[in-house]
Chains A and B, each alone.
Chain A
Amino acid sequence: MRRGTFFFACYTLCSGLYAQDAVTPPEDPLGDLAKQFHLSLRQSVLDKNVIEKPASIQFVHPSNGQDSYAIDAGLTFRLVDTDHWFVGPLAEYHRQTQISKAQDNFQAGLTLINITGDVSKDPVTSFIQGTLKYKNDRITTGEALLAKLEYTPLAPRAGIGTSIGSGEFEFIWQPTVGLQYESADDVRKTKQSGEEARAMANIEIGLFPWASSLRHRLQFVARETCWHSFARSGAFDKFGADYDIFRASLTWYLDTGRHFGVGIDYSNGSDPELGLLRQELTTLSLKVKF
């Protein structure tokens, strides 16, 4: 975090899906409305995070620089929705106006999810997600078509999907692997088109120190995502074949309902899917979750 910079961040959740008091469930008109219209709003509707992240709007006011803002939101709608299958259109928008980490990325398309197996009986259940989407990235790739297929195993007994460990120290992790194809018309502002096929691997780990005593109010989450381009043409040839981004966050929820928290978030790397250029960033955030 820059010296002398005052950082104020406010997370807002427009979906009512978090509207749950630990003792008595309150009225939740927004959540009911979202359910009625089969809508979901998240920071990303494609991410399979260990800890689900709310849609967010951040405002940054540095003491010696220009104000900037960031938006991370994703919306999806259900066309087919059964216990094993989901098909629905999606839209995501990610915007960051700060020059050093500029991001302006709109995505829209169709996603399909298949769950194979019964997680209460089988040692491993498969969570497979395929996505075909149009991407308009005004910073790195211009207009692009992105197709991807991802596999996430669920094995609760091994800590994949739910935490394991002693009462005072719990641990959860989640791996995902996938294949991606991207065709873009303005690769990294070269005004040239290109195509790239990538393999992707993601691993996310969540730690809960003093889990029982603190009721999971203290959370540390680390996530490493790597991409390797194994086939490429056009302007993509001019750049490196490997991308990676490391993200970590430490959050302390102030209330037992876990609505209000403070946290430190750190990220370092580049994300070709979100059009995020390589950068290192540390932020101190006030987190509000409903």
Chain B
Amino acid sequence: MPTREEVKPRVIEKLLMVTHKPAASDEKSDLSNDLVMSPPLKKAMGVPYSNISRSYPAGLTVSMTDAGDCTTVKDSIDLVFKRSNGKKG
């Protein structure tokens, strides 16, 4: 079962790869306002997030709607952490 500290750098790495903005390393950063991610791009993050979560034995898919609903970097880390541990909701 991965810890949040284990998942966090992997999520931030994906956000940095996509946005190329240092603010992606800050959990408080807002995906729309600070990283300027469009709604379709936030939804498309479901694919790289799922690649992280499914790399763990109990990992579940991160849906495009859940990925699109994330408001901050912290939300994204929390979401991937939950799915990586097989938790829905």
Question: B50 at interface (Cβ–Cβ under 8 A)?
Answer: yes
Collect the chain A residues with CB atoms within 8 Å of residue B64's CB: 81-86, 113, 115
Of the residues A23, A48, A119, A154, contact of B48 by C-beta under 8 Å = A119
How far, in whole Å, are A216 and B89 apart by their CA atoms in the complex? Answer: 31
Q: For chain A, give the interface size range.
A: 35 or more
How far, in whole Å, are A14 and B40 apart by their CA atoms in the complex? Answer: 21
Tell me whether A52 and B47 are in contact (CB under 8 A): no
Interface of B is mostly: helix
Question: B77 at interface (Cβ–Cβ under 8 A)?
Answer: no
Could you give 13 example pairs across A and B, Cβ below 8 Å?
Answer: A17-B71, A22-B33, A22-B34, A49-B38, A86-B65, A120-B14, A120-B45, A121-B48, A154-B40, A156-B18, A161-B18, A161-B41, A172-B36
Instruction: Count residues on chain B whose CB falls below 8 Å from chain A CBs.
Output: 40
Task: Please encode chain A, from 168 to 181, with 1 for each CB lying within 8 Å of some chain B CB and 0 for all others.
Answer: 00101010000000
Tell me whether A208 and B36 are in contact (CB under 8 A): yes
Chain A interface (Cβ within 8 Å of chain B)?
Answer: 17-20, 22-23, 25, 35-36, 38, 40, 48-52, 78, 81-86, 113, 115, 117-121, 125, 127, 152, 154, 156-157, 161-164, 170, 172, 174, 206, 208, 215-216, 258
Q: How many A-B residue pairs have CB under 8 A?
A: 130
Tell me whether B18 and A83 are in contact (CB under 8 A): no
CB distance from A213 to the nearest CB of B (A): 13
Task: Please encode chain B, from 37 to 80, with 1 for each CB lying within 8 Å of some chain A CB and 0 for all others.
Answer: 11111011111111100000000011111110101101100000
